[in-house]
Structure 1
């Protein structure tokens, strides 16, 4: 890197303190131009900032010499008072001194390119900044600490060991090597194949922790879905009226259950309708429900005999919420519960207007989400990009196993391709467009 970049690292707007970061070869001359005398590396010093004979602010200044910095380059931080005028004056001075405003994620990209982080760790930095829940924080911090990369590196080592045996059989067929040396690659490949299978089966857990566990509220019009949503999120997020078809679009509301981010969606009442707008709402409701991690079918318990028509829509693991249970016939509710609990549905009776009942449901949902998203191991994938590369690697390993002993050259090439797929996750090899896409999701200043 030949240019020096800068950016505001704290949120824009009025604040007690604002931090402006600088990184690149002109860092020390920039600090000296503003401060007169640069502080010693890694020691904070109070300095008066001046530019073109004008006092800008009195700031706390930190300087870091390469390679012992976040980016691996010479870098500095100016901790100034957080008023907008102060920040704008400092940023203008940096432009006058020939520095360039950083692009989104450019500080972390430079850290990656200078070997301070691998690509999976860099993505963990972005996730840590965006973390809204304790579970997201723990997952992102583990990824920054290398938990994901260490798992991939161990798998890559297994592939390299297997590849060494396969290539020995290919390159030295007439040498005095142990018989069936290629077959010695098979146990390691089998072990890796089993671990990749397990990782792929668990592939959505990391992404659901990061993006949110999706819960859909479904049912006929006026079943009480909007009232239930408002009760769960403890505010008036959805309009509640006695008019059927009031909700015509998907209303997503985030909340935290059991320490995990959850997206609860109120959907349009599912029914046949000639109204084009309502019909589009029903289509969107069905589409959102297809992607939901948990679906709650809300049924009007007072009219339960006429409203439970779920045969074509229910899937294993769905919940049935018998609403308005406080004014419903118990015998009717008993019959419906017996019918659908026998189909494997979890059946809940409540009144969506009762705070105690909603609290109980919220606790049940929190336990369900925590059970679904917790795991003994760090998840093997936290992004779609990881999942795609793991799937690619597993397909090559499976094909290599089928070729060992038959076409050793082909098996060796498949093992090589599997290792390359894993390397793309950590960024050992990756095309420029992938790097640009990853770091463009970062905020400016990171």
Structure 2
């Protein structure tokens, strides 16, 4: 990462529309020398925020291309600095020629991954939760991921946490007023009567918000479904059928699957991670036993287990699993069963005859929807969100419960609670997090 002292000295540029041949390629610029770069390449600076058709020239006056140029003067731009976009033809030779021309200009350099967004953060155009939402929006693969990321990048979490922090600041101010200006007539009421009930209400809001963290993680990271069963119970066949392509090898030979196989599904907008595992049996060799260990480890971390029973009787019985992970018992190879008298099964499928799969998908959808709940844009969805929220909650609870402590100590607990919320949005002491967060972005964003 570029040294912080040089952060604003250079003008940065990058191809923002992705590598490869395309109809149009977008090259972004940001920094103090954007006007100089435009004057050098197109002869002038176009009207702000208006697309202008211009020819682009190299330093030796060779025409490179003809395209649209947009200029966004700071501070009313994405980064808060002077910015520009060059929309040129997307051929590799054209893009390379424009990038080489820019790199030859004094004070210009290629942007680091996430550096445009980092400058927007440093210039107060975005906070950390909005930055994370933007990163998630770029990476979104399903409709629910897009909705959650769009809400977060638009400031829904920021507004919530800033509102909570302001309530804590107000409470501290009133405590200060209580013991500094106790004799003044215009100081409202007693702290005990006005502040502490409001803070207890805030504690309840934070508790309810934390309860929604699991739903946020499911939408952002995916709902994990692990397929368990004896060898040849139909695990790989079921996975291939649900994925609608050949992911796993299907064979009558036992122990074909020895490692975890994973496929990502879009189930009505919800991201689902489906994992095939090694068959569980006694008497396996060392490599197969390691596969079974990994299978059980994956099952413990799953959100749902599909426990397969081979109704043809050719495979062994479904393994016995413990723990509190939700599970569905699925009878496989239903077309080969002589008779089915099993009230412990949640679903019957026959992959060969394409029967029962829609019912299984419906059950999966019900479980995912129940786990994700009524998703809104105010869901915490990262581990650091939960950690700072818990820190805030603990400090707030300390101030509320220790009512015999001096007001100074209770006010200090409220200060720590507010600081935890400030670290969530990046307003306080988060320098150690920044490189990690902005490193998630692609070059040009």
Q: TM-score, normalised by structure 2?
A: 0.93
The one-character-per-residue Cα deviations of 1:354-399 (angstroms, maximum 9, x if unpaired) are: 3232122123312332332241643431211211111111111111
Q: What does residue 348 of structure 2 align with?
A: 349
SS at match of 1:351: coil
Pair 1:307-2:306 in alignment: no
Q: What does residue 22 of structure 1 align with?
A: 29
Q: 1:227 and 1:430 mapped to 2: Cα distance?
A: 51
Aligned residues: 435
SS at match of 1:168: helix
User: Which residue, 62, 65, 68 being the options, matches 1:57?
Assistant: 65
8 Å contact from structure 1 (residues 23, 71) kept in 2: yes
Q: What does residue 343 of structure 1 align with?
A: none
SS at match of 2:352: coil
Change in 2 beyond 3 A, CA 1:135/1:104 = same
Change in 2 beyond 3 A, CA 1:137/1:377 = closer
User: Which residue, 121, 127, 138 being the options, matches 2:136?
Assistant: 127
Q: What does residue 76 of structure 2 align with?
A: 68
8 Å contact from structure 1 (residues 304, 332) kept in 2: no
Question: Unaligned 5+ residue runs, structure 2?
Answer: 1-7
Pair 1:264-2:263 in alignment: no
Q: 1:252 and 1:430 mapped to 2: Cα distance?
A: 38
Q: What does residue 19 of structure 2 align with?
A: 12
Q: 1:110 and 1:202 mapped to 2: Cα distance?
A: 31
The one-character-per-residue Cα deviations of 1:15-62 (angstroms, maximum 9, x if unpaired) are: 111110000010011001000122111111111111122221112111
Q: What does residue 385 of structure 1 align with?
A: 384
Q: What does residue 334 of structure 2 align with?
A: 325
User: Which residue, 217, 227, 244 being the options, matches 2:254?
Assistant: 244
SS at match of 1:67: coil
Q: What does residue 409 of structure 1 align with?
A: 408
Q: What does residue 340 of structure 1 align with?
A: none
Q: RMSD of the TM alignment (CA)?
A: 2.0
Q: What does residue 306 of structure 2 align with?
A: 296
Pair 1:92-2:91 in alignment: no
Pair 1:78-2:86 in alignment: yes
Deviation at 1:223, TM superposition (A): 1.0
Q: 2:93 and 2:325 mapped to 1: Cα distance?
A: 59
SS at match of 1:287: helix
Q: What does residue 438 of structure 1 align with?
A: 437
Name the structure with the higher helix share.
Answer: 1
Deviation at 1:188, TM superposition (A): 1.7
8 Å contact from structure 1 (residues 301, 333) kept in 2: no
User: Which residue, 147, 156, 171 being the options, matches 2:165?
Assistant: 156
Q: What does residue 396 of structure 1 align with?
A: 395
Q: 1:364 and 1:179 mapped to 2: Cα distance?
A: 56
Q: TM-score, normalised by structure 1?
A: 0.92
Structure 1 window deviating more from structure 2 (210-219 vs 26-35): it is 210-219
SS at match of 2:68: strand
8 Å contact from structure 1 (residues 258, 367) kept in 2: no
Pair 1:227-2:226 in alignment: no
SS at match of 1:333: coil
The one-character-per-residue Cα deviations of 1:120-147 (angstroms, maximum 9, x if unpaired) are: 1111111111111111111111111111
Change in 2 beyond 3 A, CA 1:406/1:179 = farther
SS at match of 1:187: helix
Change in 2 beyond 3 A, CA 1:22/1:82 = same
Pair 1:279-2:289 in alignment: yes
Q: What does residue 5 of structure 2 align with?
A: none
Q: 1:41 and 1:29 mapped to 2: Cα distance?
A: 15
